[in-house]
Every structure is written in C-alpha cells, then in structure tokens.
Amino acid sequence: MRFMVLVKANEDSEAGIFPDEKILAEMGKFNEELVKAGVMLAAEGLHPSSKGARVKFEGSKRTVMDGPFAETKELIAGFWLWQVKSKEEAIEWLKRAPFDGGTEIELRQVFEADDFGANLTPELRKLEERLRAKIEAK
C-alpha cells in the first residue's frame, strides 16, 4: 500500500527560508535510507504559497485568488509518497524522520484499485465497463 506523508508549512517555509545545513543533511540521509529500503516512490517540496494560487468554484463562476494564504499551519510545504506493507511500517519509518520542535507530520493512505475491488457495486462496475467500451471505441 501507499502512504502520502504530508509536511505542513511553517513561518520559515512560507517566508522561503530553507532549513539550515544540519537539518538538510539529516533529511538527505533519511531520504537516502528510504530510497535504499525501496520505500520511497516520490518526494517533493513546495514553494511558499505566495507563488501559488487558489481557484474558487461557484456554479459557472471561477474566482482566482493569488497567494500568499494566511492560515500557515493548514498549508502543505511538501510530501513524500511511500510504498509500504502496512500503516505500522509507514509509522515506523516516519518515527525515524529528523523532525523536532513539536512538528506534527500526517500520513494518509492512498487509494488504490484494490480498495475499490470488493466495494465496487454492480452499477458502478457497469458504469466503468461502459466507460471502457466508450474509450475503446474511440
């Protein structure tokens, strides 16, 4: 199964200030461990929200709001995507990450085909089949 590990923003990350060399080195080592263990699928860090934007949907109306956004702690600063065998394995890996100072890191399981397999109702299955037939006909 796959887990996404979500790293939240803080004042520094929103200000575009990079962590110091020591933390970067520790993080680099941790990332290396993940790669060596065959766990790491992807890892990305995000620019501050000042470089981002939001689009609001209301009926047919689309409103674009440029960053930065105020609620710093709700913002995402980066993520990992891990391939593991269980939630516990993901947690064990996360516990080894070099965070400190009360940082909270969230991990969330990624939906995969299998998750739908048994739950897919006959109606949904038919819909999917029709969809597939349509795509094939193209």
> For residue 9, which amino acid is it?
A
What DSSP string runs through 32-57? HHHHHTT-EEEEEE---GGG-EEEEE
Q: Distance (Å, rounded) from C-alpha 91 to C-alpha 11?
A: 26
Per CB under 8 A, 115 contacts another protein: no
Closest approach of Cβ 113 to another protein, in Å? 4
**Span near another protein by CB under 8 A; candidates 48-56, 62-70, 98-106, 112-120:** 112-120
Closest approach of Cβ 40 to another protein, in Å? 8
Question: Tokens standing for 131?
Answer: 């969809």
Site for another protein in 39-98 (CB under 8 A): 39, 41-42, 81, 83-86, 88-89, 91-93
Neighbours of 31 (CB within 10 A): 14
Per CB under 8 A, 31 contacts another protein: no
